[in-house]
Amino acid sequence: MKIENRSLIFENVITYQTTQLRKDWQEGFYKMEEIMLAEGIYQSGPTFFSVEPERGEAKYGNFTYYLPINNPVQIKEESEFGFQERFHISEAFVLRQADEAKDFHVALEKIQQHAEEKDIAIKDTFYCVLLEVFDDYMIDLYVPLKTEGEA
């Protein structure tokens, strides 16, 4: 498994945020499916999510799920969903998981080790992009690099 340096950019993204058990990471995808069906929204890219550590609670994480769509939409203020015109990570370490490691936490440890060896600071938040390939899923794990002066 090769670690690469890439960016990640999507236009017109529906978002959903929640704090939940890390082991339940798939739950947010059901919410994204709900809004697609209810609103007749057309998905234009892979669904992905970010996980930010929950302070003092290793089993939990702050999750944001992202659904790229074809056109901008208006989201009601009282909705549990949000809308972002543009999602952009300028630079991140990326590791594609195929058959080797289905658990993205294993891939995260490899990226953390790689960053330490290269003496490059990375952020605590990471992103998992789910790619559907022949009725199976692969995960691209993105860990953004810290910019100079970023704590």
pLDDT bucket at 150, cuts 50 / 70 / 90? low
Q: Quote the domain boundaries for residue 29.
A: 3-144
Q: What is the mean pLDDT of residues 107-126?
A: 93
Number of neighbours of residue 51 by Cβ within 10 angstroms:
21
Asked if residues 51 and 107 have their Cβ atoms less than 8 Å apart, the reply is no
Is residue 86 one of the residues assigned to a domain? yes
Lowest mean pLDDT among 10-19, 96-105, 121-130, 139-148: 96-105
Is residue 151 one of the residues assigned to a domain? no
Is residue 109 one of the residues assigned to a domain? yes
The pTM (predicted TM-score) of the whole model is: 0.88
Is residue 57 one of the residues assigned to a domain? yes
Q: Which residue has the higher pLDDT, 9 or 101?
A: 9
Is residue 149 one of the residues assigned to a domain? no
Give the distance from CA 146 to its chain's centroid.
17
Is residue 150 one of the residues assigned to a domain? no
Is residue 59 one of the residues assigned to a domain? yes
Question: How confident is the model at residue 100, as a pLDDT?
Answer: 56
Concatenating the DSSP letter of every residue in 74-138 gives: ---TTSSEEEEEEEEEEEEEEEEESSS---HHHHHHHHHHHHHHHT--B-S-EEEEEEEETTEEE
Is residue 64 one of the residues assigned to a domain? yes
Q: What is the rounded average pLDDT for all residues in the chain?
A: 88
Report the number of distinct structural domains present in the chain.
1
Q: What is the CATH number of the domain that holds 30?
A: 3.20.80.10
